[in-house]
C-alpha cells in the first residue's frame, strides 16, 4: 500500500502489496505462541527481537502518518486558496461595482431615459454620435444610416 524508500525496517522489495502477516513472516516476526512456547517464560533475546521488530513497525507507521498529515495539510491549504480565488473577486465586485454603475447612470442616464420613453430628439442622437470614438467619415456614415 505505501512504499518506503528510506526506512530502517528494511522490508523485502515488492512487499508493499502483500498482507501484513506475510510481510511479517518474511522479515522474521512470528506469533507470540511460537516464541514463548506453551506456558514457558520468554527468553531475553526473544523479547529483545520482539522489541526491535516492534520499533521497526512503529517507525514505518510513524513515516506513513507523517506523510498523511502533510498531504492533509496541503489539501486544507489548497481548499482555502480555492475559496479565496472565488471570494476575493466577488467581494471586489460588490465593493466597486455600485459606484461605477452610479457614474455610468449619471453620465448616460439622460440618453437612456430618452431612449426608453421613445423621445430621442435629433440633438440627442447628434450628442451620442459625437461621443463615439470614431473618425468623422464614420460619423457621417452613421448619420446617413439613421436618416
- Give the chain's domain count: 1
**Residue 58 has which C-alpha cell?**
512503529
The reply to whether 127 falls in a domain is: no
The reply to whether 137 falls in a domain is: no
The reply to whether 62 falls in a domain is: yes
The reply to whether 132 falls in a domain is: no
CA angle 38, 44, 46 (to 5 degrees): 60
CA 118 to chain centre: 52
- pTM of this structure: 0.43
Task: Give the pLDDT of the chain (147 residues) as one tens digit per residue.
Answer: 455 555 444 444 444 444 555 555 655 555 554 455 555 777 888 999 999 999 999 999 999 999 999 999 999 999 999 999 999 999 999 999 988 888 888 777 766 665 556 555 666 677 777 778 888 888 888 878 877
The reply to whether 112 falls in a domain is: yes
> In sequence order, what are the residues at sequence separation of 6 or more whose Cβ sits closer than 8 angstroms to the Cβ of residue 120?
114
Distance CA 22, CA 38 (A): 24
Which domain does 44 fall in, by range? 20-119
The reply to whether 110 falls in a domain is: yes
The reply to whether 92 falls in a domain is: yes
The reply to whether 125 falls in a domain is: no
Amino acid at each position: 500500500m505505501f512504499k518506503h524508500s528510506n526506512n530502517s525496517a528494511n522490508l523485502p522489495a515488492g512487499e508493499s502489496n502483500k498482507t501484513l502477516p506475510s510481510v511479517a513472516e518474511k522479515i522474521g516476526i512470528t506469533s507470540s505462541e511460537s516464541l514463548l512456547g506453551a506456558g514457558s517464560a520468554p527468553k531475553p533475546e526473544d523479547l529483545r527481537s520482539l522489541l526491535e521488530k516492534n520499533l521497526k513497525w512503529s517507525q514505518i507507521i510513524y513515516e506513513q502518518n507523517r506523510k498523511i498529515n502533510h498531504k492533509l495539510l496541503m489539501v486544507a491549504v489548497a481548499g482555502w486558496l480555492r475559496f479565496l480565488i472565488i471570494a476575493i473577486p466577488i467581494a471586489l465586485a460588490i465593493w466597486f461595482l455600485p459606484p461605477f454603475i452610479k457614474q455610468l447612470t449619471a453620465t448616460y442616464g439622460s440618453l437612456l431615459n430618452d431612449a426608453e420613453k421613445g423621445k430621442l430628439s435629433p440633438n440627442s442622437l447628434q450628442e451620442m454620435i459625437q461621443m463615439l470614438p470614431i473618425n468623422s467619415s464614420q460619423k457621417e456614415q452613421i448619420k446617413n444610416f439613421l436618416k
